[in-house]
Structure 1
């Protein structure tokens, strides 16, 4: 079974040499040739009229972007709630001293998501690094962020 695509991007492409079209689903790339899943269709294909096929592709891309925006908003809210819980805990610990027992909510999905966002930011930096050494260091740092070694 194929591993789930983590950062799906739908790329639609009209071939210059024919009337055929291709749809590619990549893992974050805008490059058609990086497709993990691909389909091709020509206007003569009665089973797959391109207009319908293209509409489905655009619909999928729009839905993916909406879901991504919702996920990002929820993660930001969750991170803020998590921070307020920590601030409240610190205030209670100061007020009650040794009698206060901290029990902070575990949020592994939020932690993993935020680590991924940070890692992607570092990878964006790596793409524009001036030297190979900076690039390699940034890629290694992104891997540490994903593992949770750095926060």
Structure 2
């Protein structure tokens, strides 16, 4: 569920970003921001999902506007874009973002988020080894679903 304080902060940041870029502050852009920030914090959504959610709510927004707005949200630091294996790009909120890594099931495609302090230790060790201040990382683990009767597995013929 959406946190109203985070949403209001995101709107202010986006408005400032658009002003600095010399871009228009359109209601459609802010509607995309609101739709993304209405998702649970750990949910990842693609353009088609956002489009369908917005259309089902009565919006007449185009896919192109959603694509373009998501690019602006990523550029402004308000969204994070992920590309998992053969999946389409997925987006998640960035404002209340706590760094995490991902596990993606090869079979059912379920995405699970996790954090492990050992990864931070590895980053620090690698940073020392290469005399580098590691500023970010991305870790995606892929595995095969072993959950019996997994609800996310595709139907087999």
TM-score tier (shorter): under 0.3
Q: Greater helix share, 1 or 2?
A: 1
Higher-Rg member (1/2)? 1
Which TM-score applies when normalising by structure 2? 0.24
